[in-house]
Structure 1
Amino acid sequence: MKYYAAFLTMKDEAKSQKHRPEHLDFLEEMRKQKRVLLYGRLVDGAGGLIIYQGNNLEEVTEWVKQDPYVEVGARGYEVHEWDMQTDYKISE
Protein backbone atom coordinates (compact mmCIF):
# COMPACT_ATOMS: atom_id res chain seq x y z
CA MET A 1 0.00 0.00 0.00
CA LYS A 2 1.28 3.47 -0.92
CA TYR A 3 0.41 6.88 0.54
CA TYR A 4 -0.93 9.86 -1.40
CA ALA A 5 -1.35 13.49 -0.38
CA ALA A 6 -4.43 15.16 -1.84
CA PHE A 7 -4.48 18.94 -1.57
CA LEU A 8 -8.03 20.26 -2.07
CA THR A 9 -7.55 23.87 -3.14
CA MET A 10 -10.25 26.36 -2.19
CA LYS A 11 -12.30 27.49 -5.18
CA ASP A 12 -15.60 28.57 -3.63
CA GLU A 13 -15.93 29.24 0.11
CA ALA A 14 -19.75 29.38 0.04
CA LYS A 15 -20.01 26.00 -1.71
CA SER A 16 -17.46 24.58 0.72
CA GLN A 17 -19.56 25.65 3.70
CA LYS A 18 -22.78 24.37 2.12
CA HIS A 19 -21.35 20.94 1.23
CA ARG A 20 -19.14 20.42 4.32
CA PRO A 21 -21.46 17.79 5.88
CA GLU A 22 -21.40 15.63 2.71
CA HIS A 23 -17.62 16.05 2.45
CA LEU A 24 -17.13 14.92 6.06
CA ASP A 25 -19.49 11.97 5.54
CA PHE A 26 -17.45 11.00 2.48
CA LEU A 27 -14.20 11.15 4.46
CA GLU A 28 -15.66 9.09 7.30
CA GLU A 29 -16.77 6.40 4.82
CA MET A 30 -13.30 6.41 3.24
CA ARG A 31 -11.75 6.01 6.72
CA LYS A 32 -14.01 3.02 7.41
CA GLN A 33 -12.74 1.48 4.15
CA LYS A 34 -9.15 2.21 5.29
CA ARG A 35 -8.58 4.48 2.29
CA VAL A 36 -8.07 7.70 4.28
CA LEU A 37 -5.42 7.89 6.97
CA LEU A 38 -5.54 11.57 8.00
CA TYR A 39 -7.29 14.76 6.96
CA GLY A 40 -7.74 18.38 7.99
CA ARG A 41 -8.28 21.93 6.85
CA LEU A 42 -5.50 24.43 6.33
CA VAL A 43 -5.92 27.28 8.79
CA ASP A 44 -5.01 29.94 6.25
CA GLY A 45 -8.15 29.09 4.23
CA ALA A 46 -6.23 27.72 1.24
CA GLY A 47 -8.11 24.40 1.38
CA GLY A 48 -7.43 21.07 3.01
CA LEU A 49 -5.10 18.09 3.00
CA ILE A 50 -6.10 14.42 2.94
CA ILE A 51 -3.69 11.50 3.22
CA TYR A 52 -5.01 8.49 1.30
CA GLN A 53 -3.61 4.98 1.14
CA GLY A 54 -4.09 3.06 -2.08
CA ASN A 55 -2.48 0.96 -4.76
CA ASN A 56 -1.66 3.65 -7.32
CA LEU A 57 -2.15 7.29 -8.28
CA GLU A 58 -4.97 6.56 -10.73
CA GLU A 59 -7.02 4.71 -8.10
CA VAL A 60 -6.62 7.46 -5.51
CA THR A 61 -7.35 10.21 -8.05
CA GLU A 62 -10.66 8.49 -8.85
CA TRP A 63 -11.53 8.51 -5.14
CA VAL A 64 -10.65 12.21 -4.86
CA LYS A 65 -12.93 13.00 -7.80
CA GLN A 66 -15.82 11.40 -5.85
CA ASP A 67 -15.42 13.83 -2.95
CA PRO A 68 -18.52 16.05 -2.84
CA TYR A 69 -16.29 19.15 -2.60
CA VAL A 70 -14.69 18.25 -5.93
CA GLU A 71 -17.94 17.11 -7.57
CA VAL A 72 -19.74 20.43 -6.89
CA GLY A 73 -16.74 22.60 -7.79
CA ALA A 74 -16.11 23.89 -4.26
CA ARG A 75 -12.52 22.66 -4.38
CA GLY A 76 -9.89 21.85 -6.94
CA TYR A 77 -7.40 19.09 -6.28
CA GLU A 78 -3.82 17.94 -6.64
CA VAL A 79 -2.77 14.38 -5.79
CA HIS A 80 0.85 13.32 -5.24
CA GLU A 81 2.42 10.09 -4.06
CA TRP A 82 3.88 10.67 -0.61
CA ASP A 83 6.93 8.88 0.75
CA MET A 84 5.93 8.90 4.42
CA GLN A 85 8.90 8.47 6.74
CA THR A 86 8.21 6.66 9.99
CA ASP A 87 11.74 6.01 11.24
CA TYR A 88 12.39 9.40 12.80
CA LYS A 89 12.21 10.85 16.30
CA ILE A 90 11.31 14.38 17.22
CA SER A 91 14.02 15.88 19.39
CA GLU A 92 13.00 17.71 22.52
Structure 2
Amino acid sequence: MKYFAVFLPMLDQEKSGLYREQHLAYLDQRRSEGRIFANGRFADGWGGLVIYKADAYDHVKQMVEEDPYVMLKARSYEIHEWEIVIART
Protein backbone atom coordinates (compact mmCIF):
# COMPACT_ATOMS: atom_id res chain seq x y z
CA MET A 1 0.00 0.00 0.00
CA LYS A 2 1.29 3.45 -0.93
CA TYR A 3 0.48 6.84 0.57
CA PHE A 4 -0.52 9.86 -1.51
CA ALA A 5 -0.63 13.45 -0.26
CA VAL A 6 -3.47 15.31 -1.93
CA PHE A 7 -3.43 19.08 -1.59
CA LEU A 8 -6.83 20.74 -2.06
CA PRO A 9 -6.21 24.45 -2.69
CA MET A 10 -9.17 26.79 -2.34
CA LEU A 11 -10.90 27.78 -5.59
CA ASP A 12 -14.14 29.20 -4.23
CA GLN A 13 -14.58 29.89 -0.52
CA GLU A 14 -18.36 30.20 -0.80
CA LYS A 15 -18.68 26.81 -2.52
CA SER A 16 -16.27 25.33 -0.01
CA GLY A 17 -18.58 26.33 2.85
CA LEU A 18 -21.65 25.22 0.95
CA TYR A 19 -20.31 21.73 0.15
CA ARG A 20 -18.27 21.12 3.34
CA GLU A 21 -20.71 18.56 4.81
CA GLN A 22 -20.77 16.57 1.55
CA HIS A 23 -16.97 16.64 1.41
CA LEU A 24 -16.63 15.44 5.01
CA ALA A 25 -19.21 12.68 4.47
CA TYR A 26 -17.24 11.56 1.41
CA LEU A 27 -14.02 11.42 3.44
CA ASP A 28 -15.80 9.48 6.20
CA GLN A 29 -16.90 6.92 3.61
CA ARG A 30 -13.36 6.55 2.27
CA ARG A 31 -12.03 6.35 5.83
CA SER A 32 -14.44 3.48 6.59
CA GLU A 33 -12.99 1.70 3.54
CA GLY A 34 -9.47 2.13 4.94
CA ARG A 35 -8.47 4.62 2.21
CA ILE A 36 -7.74 7.70 4.37
CA PHE A 37 -4.68 7.93 6.61
CA ALA A 38 -5.27 11.54 7.72
CA ASN A 39 -6.94 14.75 6.63
CA GLY A 40 -7.45 18.33 7.69
CA ARG A 41 -7.67 21.92 6.62
CA PHE A 42 -4.88 24.49 6.78
CA ALA A 43 -5.37 27.10 9.50
CA ASP A 44 -4.52 29.96 7.12
CA GLY A 45 -7.53 29.20 4.88
CA TRP A 46 -5.43 28.06 1.91
CA GLY A 47 -7.27 24.75 1.60
CA GLY A 48 -6.68 21.27 2.94
CA LEU A 49 -4.70 18.06 2.79
CA VAL A 50 -5.87 14.45 2.55
CA ILE A 51 -3.48 11.51 2.84
CA TYR A 52 -4.94 8.61 0.84
CA LYS A 53 -3.83 4.98 0.93
CA ALA A 54 -3.91 3.12 -2.39
CA ASP A 55 -1.94 0.80 -4.63
CA ALA A 56 -1.64 3.20 -7.57
CA TYR A 57 -1.82 6.86 -8.54
CA ASP A 58 -4.75 6.25 -10.90
CA HIS A 59 -6.88 4.88 -8.06
CA VAL A 60 -6.18 7.96 -5.94
CA LYS A 61 -6.94 10.27 -8.86
CA GLN A 62 -10.31 8.57 -9.32
CA MET A 63 -11.14 8.95 -5.61
CA VAL A 64 -10.08 12.61 -5.59
CA GLU A 65 -12.17 13.38 -8.65
CA GLU A 66 -15.22 11.88 -6.87
CA ASP A 67 -14.79 14.25 -3.90
CA PRO A 68 -17.64 16.79 -3.92
CA TYR A 69 -15.18 19.64 -3.37
CA VAL A 70 -13.41 18.74 -6.60
CA MET A 71 -16.51 17.74 -8.58
CA LEU A 72 -18.30 20.99 -7.69
CA LYS A 73 -15.20 23.17 -8.26
CA ALA A 74 -14.80 24.39 -4.69
CA ARG A 75 -11.21 23.12 -4.66
CA SER A 76 -8.58 22.09 -7.16
CA TYR A 77 -6.15 19.28 -6.37
CA GLU A 78 -2.55 18.22 -6.57
CA ILE A 79 -1.48 14.59 -5.93
CA HIS A 80 1.98 13.49 -4.77
CA GLU A 81 3.07 9.99 -3.80
CA TRP A 82 4.39 10.28 -0.26
CA GLU A 83 7.15 8.09 1.17
CA ILE A 84 6.05 8.41 4.76
CA VAL A 85 8.45 8.12 7.69
CA ILE A 86 6.90 7.99 11.16
CA ALA A 87 9.07 9.09 14.06
CA ARG A 88 9.48 6.71 16.95
CA THR A 89 9.15 8.26 20.40
Tell me which interval the TM-score lies in, with the shorter structure as reference length: over 0.9
Q: What fraction of aligned residue pairs are identical, expressed as a percent? A: 43
Output the CA distance in 2 between the equivalents of 1:7 and 1:15.
17
Q: State the partner residue of 1:81.
A: 81
2:32 corresponds in structure 1 to: 32
**SS of the residue aligned with 2:34?**
coil
Q: Which residue of 2 aligns with 1:19?
A: 19
Structure 1 residues without counterparts, runs of 5 or longer: none
When normalised by structure 2's length, the TM-score is: 0.97
**Partners of 1:56 and 1:80 in 2: CA distance:** 11
Aligned residues: 89
CA distance in 1 between counterparts of 2:22 and 2:88 reads 37
Q: Deviations over 1:44-66 (max 9, x none)?
A: 11100000000111110110000
Gaps of 5+ in 2: none
> Which protein is bigger by CA-based radius of gyration?
1
CA RMSD of aligned residues (A): 0.9
Counterpart position of 2:49: 49
User: What are the superposed Cα offsets for residues 40-90 of structure 1, whole Å, 9 maximum, x if unpaired?
Assistant: 00011110000000011111011000000000000000000000012x336
Q: Counterpart of 1:24 in structure 2: which amino acid? A: L
- Displacement of 1:37 in angstroms is 1.0
